Amino acid sequence: MIYYIYILQSERDNNFYTGYTSDLRKRINEHNGGNVISTKKRTPLKLVYFEGCLSQKDAIHREKYLKTSWGKRYIKNRIKNYLTGLAEASTKDISQAVKPKNFKKNKKVAHQGGNVAKVARKELEAKTGKNVVSPVNAKTILGESKKAKKINTKNKQ
């Protein structure tokens, strides 16, 4: 039997929930059906990450780890591509269509891809009335921007 450690994200408050189960589909349906006390008021929830273990003990141990601050940091880094995938996919598609030949044109394509994601984010927020950028991932985005500025400043010297 396989035991799954899973992470759900609330579409209501953008917060995460971590759990484990031997039947992933059934458990997600229980969460979204309001049958789980800890997530009842946070529905709807979407699956954003899962792992499999061959031992229930290992799954319980892994679930407890992922609930620690180190585990949460691991997950945020692990699903960073999921959370920023639209910008990357947009940039890739634009790049394939435009076929930029130099750094300046590549930079322009990257900005265009980011703008596509920005417009999509704003439209999603307007239609759902919910913020896509939570305080948690906003800090990450801002932190990376500051790091990038420091690197660019160092490279210019």
Domain's final residue, options 25, 51, 82: 82
The residue segments making up the domain with residue 50 are 3-82
Kindly report the three-state secondary structure assignment for every residue of 80-120: HHHHCHHHHHHHHHHHHHHCCCCHHHHHHHHHHHHHHHHHH
pLDDT of residue 147: 46
Judge if 12 and 60 occupy the same domain: yes
User: Is residue 12 within 8 Å of 42, Cβ to Cβ?
Assistant: yes
pTM: 0.56
CA separation for the pair 75, 99 (Å, rounded):
34
Judge if 90 and 78 occupy the same domain: no
Judge if 27 and 96 occupy the same domain: no
Pairing of β 45-53 and β 3-10: antiparallel
Judge if 95 and 68 occupy the same domain: no
β partners of residue 41: none
Token pair for residue 143?
Answer: 């932190």
Judge if 7 and 78 occupy the same domain: yes
Domain's final residue, options 82, 107, 127: 82
Averaged pLDDT for residues 95-111: 79
Judge if 76 and 14 occupy the same domain: yes
Averaged pLDDT for residues 84-88: 62
Please give the tally of structural domains in the chain. Answer: 2
Judge if 104 and 72 occupy the same domain: no
Judge if 90 and 145 occupy the same domain: yes
pLDDT of residue 100: 79
Judge if 52 and 111 occupy the same domain: no
Which residue type occupies 46?
A: K
Task: Write out pLDDT tens, residues 13-67.
Answer: 888 999 999 999 999 999 999 999 999 999 999 898 999 999 999 999 999 999 9
**Residue 78 or 23, more confident:** 23
